[in-house]
Structure formats: structure tokens, C-alpha cells
């Protein structure tokens, strides 16, 4: 199925554990993004990537690590999960960034940190 797929859809983990959220896109878009969605905050950018091996911080990067060894994959890792990282995480892709950017989102991963 073409588009952006995220896995898992739901994840429960414990404080201090490492967890990785997966994102895969089939559009060959250059740019990929990770956002978190929290009540009252809308969507906030965690990290983005312009191409393979090129990543940069967004608005709320602390506690997260990303990598992009292949253009189609952009995993997000929480190295030591905290309760404040309980959120819904969305991966997105775009052909461009800045003026003209149009984001295509995955269905999200709902993460609970106990």
C-alpha cells in the first residue's frame, strides 16, 4: 500500500526503557518529519530530515534520537522514556520544505509511558 506507514499503532512502555517508533514512506519524498500531538498544543515538530543521513532538530527534540540511513525510513527512538513523552506521534513526509511544503501524515503511534 502506497503512502506513509507507522508502526506500532499503540505502544505501552515503562519509564527508563528504550522504544523505537518506525516510519516508512513509498512516495520517495526527500523530507521526513516527526511530530508529537498533545492536547492543547496541536502538533509540534521533534526532528526532520532532508535526505538520507541529514537530520535536524525541531521545536521539541530533547529526549529523542532519529536516524535516516535509507530515504524511505525514518525511525524515532526514545532512549530512556519519560512520562512526559506520553503522546501521539505522527510521521510525515513532503517533497519540499519551507514555502510550498505540504505534509502527508501517517496514522500515528499512540505511546503511553507508565
Question: Which parts of this chain interact with another protein (CB under 8 A)?
Answer: 4, 35, 40-45, 58-59, 90, 92, 97-108
Is 19 or 92 the residue whose CB approaches another protein more closely?
A: 92
Nearest approach in angstroms of CB 22 to another protein is: 15
Is 86 or 104 the residue whose CB approaches another protein more closely?
A: 104
Nearest approach in angstroms of CB 90 to another protein is: 5
C-alpha count within 13 angstroms, C-beta hemisphere, residue 12: 1
Q: Are 90 and 23 in contact (CB under 8 A)?
A: no
Nearest approach in angstroms of CB 72 to another protein is: 17
Rounded CA-CA distance 71/25 in Å is 8
Is 85 or 93 the residue whose CB approaches another protein more closely?
A: 93
C-alpha count within 13 angstroms, C-beta hemisphere, residue 52: 6
Rounded CA-CA distance 16/18 in Å is 7
Amino acid at each position: 500500500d502506497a503512502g506513509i506507514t507507522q508502526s506500532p499503532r499503540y505502544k505501552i512502555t515503562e519509564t527508563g526503557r528504550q522504544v523505537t517508533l518506525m516510519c516508512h514512506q513509498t512516495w520517495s519524498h526527500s523530507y521526513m518529519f516527526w511530530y508529537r500531538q498533545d492536547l492543547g498544543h496541536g502538533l509540534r515538530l521533534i526532528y526532520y530530515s532532508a535526505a538520507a543521513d541529514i537530520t535536524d532538530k525541531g521545536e521539541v527534540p530533547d529526549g529523542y534520537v532519529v536516524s535516516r540511513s535509507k530515504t524511505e525510513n525514518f525511525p524515532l527512538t526514545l532512549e530512556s522514556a519519560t512520562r512526559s513523552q506520553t503522546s501521539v506521534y505522527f510521521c510525515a513526509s513532503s517533497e519540499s520544505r519551507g514555502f510550498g511544503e505540504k505534509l502527508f501524515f501517517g496514522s500515528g503511534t499512540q505511546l503511553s509511558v507508565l
